[in-house]
Amino acid sequence: MKQTLLVFLGGGLGSMLRYLISKPLNALHDNFYLGTFTVNIVGCLLIGVIMGIASKNQVISQQSVLFFATGLCGGFTTFSAFAFEKHTFLKEGEFLPFLFYLASSIILGILAVALGTWLVRSFN
C-alpha cells in the first residue's frame, strides 16, 4: 500500500508540474506544442538521471525510485518511460525489438486516437 501511495503522490505532483509548465509555453506558439515538447524532453532527462543514479550508486532507495521515476516522471510525462524503455533495448543491442516497439507504439497510438475519436462521433 505504501508503494502505491508513493506512486500516487509523485504522479499527482508530476501532473501538476506538467500543467504549470506546459500551459504557458504551449500558448506561445500556434503550430508547435512547445510546452508538451519541453516536459517530454525534461522528463526524459530526469528519468535518465534518476535511473542512472539508482543503478550506479545504489544511493536512491526503491521507494524514492517509485516516487520520482514512476510517479513524478510518469505524471510529468509518460514519454519519459517510453524513451527509457527504448534506451534499454538499444543498450542491450536489441535492435529489432527496439524498432518494432518504437514503430508499433507510434503507429498504434495514433490509430488508437483516431479510432477513439471516430467511435465518439459514430455513436453520438
Q: 86-110, pLDDT tens digit by residue?
A: 999 999 999 999 999 999 999 998 9
- Domain range for 99: 94-124
Q: What is the SS3 string spanning the chain? A: CHHHHHHHHHHHHHHHHHHHHHHHHHCCCCCCCHHHHHHHHHHHHHHHHHHHHHHHCCCCCHHHHHHHHHHHHHHHCCHHHHHHHHHHHHHCCCHHHHHHHHHHHHHHHHHHHHHHHHHHHHCC
pLDDT category of residue 79 using cuts at 50, 70 and 90: confident
Q: 86 and 101 share a domain?
A: no
Would you say 11 is a known binding-site residue? no
Q: 60 and 117 share a domain?
A: no
Q: 101 and 117 share a domain?
A: yes
Q: 68 and 103 share a domain?
A: no
pLDDT score recorded for residue 113: 86
Would you say 77 is a known binding-site residue? yes
pLDDT score recorded for residue 124: 65
Average pLDDT over residues 115-120: 88
Q: 99 and 73 share a domain?
A: no
